[in-house]
Amino acid sequence: MITLKNFRQFITDTLRIILKGDRLYYAWVGFLVLLIAIGAAAYLGQLNSGLIVTKMRDQVSWGFYIGNFTFLVGVAAAAIMLVIPAYIYDWEPIKEITILGEMLAISALIMCLGFVMVDIGRPDRFWHIIPLVGRLNWPQSMLAWDVIVLNLYLLLNWFVVTYLLFCAYTERHYVKKLVLPLVLLSIPMAVSIHTVTAYLYNGLAARPFWNSAILAPRFLASAFCSGPAILLILLQILRKTTKLSIKDEAIFKVAELMAYTMGFNLFLTAAEAFKELYSGTEHMVYFQYLLFGLKGHTTLVPYAWASILCGLAAFILFLVPRTRTNWVTLNIGCVLIYASVYIEKGMGLIIPGLTPDVLGDIYVYRPSFTEIAVAAGIFATGFLVFTLMLKAAVPMMLGEFTISKGQPPQGAPPQKA
């Protein structure tokens, strides 16, 4: 009973925190809300006219929306990058920041579900996919699997974050027996969401570009580069703007782990490119379209090479200890790897998978204004969710904001996830 009452108090207090902020906070939230409004207006237009307002057509039937979805599943999966060393090796400095990783995962998943929603032609029939109410084609359809694992992963992260914050708020220590198994479970869950998303494409024999056995490993490797890159920048911002103490040591450790995954990611990409280009079968045309252009169509070429060069440069910056521990070069590296993976796992994955199409037709796809506006709205939603969660979570994690309002918690150590 007391817990329930406390929980209600927790919710109202959380709402109170997120409504109160300084001018910068309001400006940022206002900016995001503006973007969401633009996205919503564009989406209403799409609902009225149909997906014809996008540049997708029968030949390239998936585009910018599904590309962003795929990339963001990777971001969501990467939360475990921080959980693994924290819990498996019991490495204290990282433990404090895993809760941030989990909040990042929640925001990314919300964006993922948003991108799927705006991509489907009949959002009014969304209930058809709900198990028991509708008719989920499980276990046959990989999309059915994806619906299940993404929602489970969202639920799991949401529960762990809420529980940890609620404990911090009520000035109690969390029950390790409850949290540890759940956090450990999130490791295989994170691997599974990205594996299943890779299998979504991987299982289609009609699309040789995707029908490669190392697609899922490539997905994981690239996700473990881009996800932590976002987090590293975020941690630096949080250190500056809040009282949250994050040790240099923790950041450099994550950067070191990223160097390994980047190397592995480049190796896997090279392995794929070698197999296709050296054997030179007719399946090579998709790689050709991506890297060199096909029959005069070279839309993707500059992006593809930018992705490769950014990936290489970032790898070198993260590999060399001197540049890895220098804030300027570290942050440049983060931006480079993020850009590299965003191209590779977004448009660089979807478009050459569908071009040329199954009958050899080349349709040159570029997202329309509607697609870009809707996507901006979804990204803004994700950022907004993350901002609001951070706004409430940081003072709770610091023990500044508890049930006894402003009183530091008695005896309980600062919250560690």
Give contact residues for another protein (rule: CB under 8 A): 44, 47-52, 54, 56-59, 61-62, 116, 119-129, 132-137, 140-144, 147, 200-201, 203-207, 282, 285, 353-354, 356-361
CA distances from 152 to 22, 39, 84, 133 (A): 35, 27, 19, 18
CB nearer to another protein: pick between 328 and 359: 359
DSSP 356-402: S-TTS--------HHHHHHHHHHHHHHHHHHHHHHHHHHHHHTTSS-
CA distances from 17 to 14, 88, 157, 205, 372 (A): 5, 34, 21, 51, 32
Q: How far is the CB of 354 from another protein (least distance, A)?
A: 7
Q: Give the separation between CA 130 and CA 345, rounded to whole angstroms.
A: 28
CB nearer to another protein: pick between 200 and 258: 200
CB nearer to another protein: pick between 173 and 295: 295
Task: Using alpha carbons, select from 112, 37, 116, 123 the residue that is nearest to residue 75.
Answer: 112
Q: Is the dihedral of CA 55, 56, 57, 60 positive or negative?
A: positive
Helices (H), 64-91: 64-77, 80-83
CA 320 to chain centre: 26
Q: How far is the CB of 133 from another protein (least distance, A)?
A: 6
Q: Is the dihedral of CA 354, 301, 290, 260 positive or negative?
A: negative
Q: How far is the CB of 180 from another protein (least distance, A)?
A: 34
CB nearer to another protein: pick between 10 and 289: 289
Q: How far is the CB of 294 from another protein (least distance, A)?
A: 9
Q: How far is the CB of 53 from another protein (least distance, A)?
A: 8
Q: How far is the CB of 137 from another protein (least distance, A)?
A: 4
CB nearer to another protein: pick between 56 and 235: 56
CB nearer to another protein: pick between 194 and 207: 207
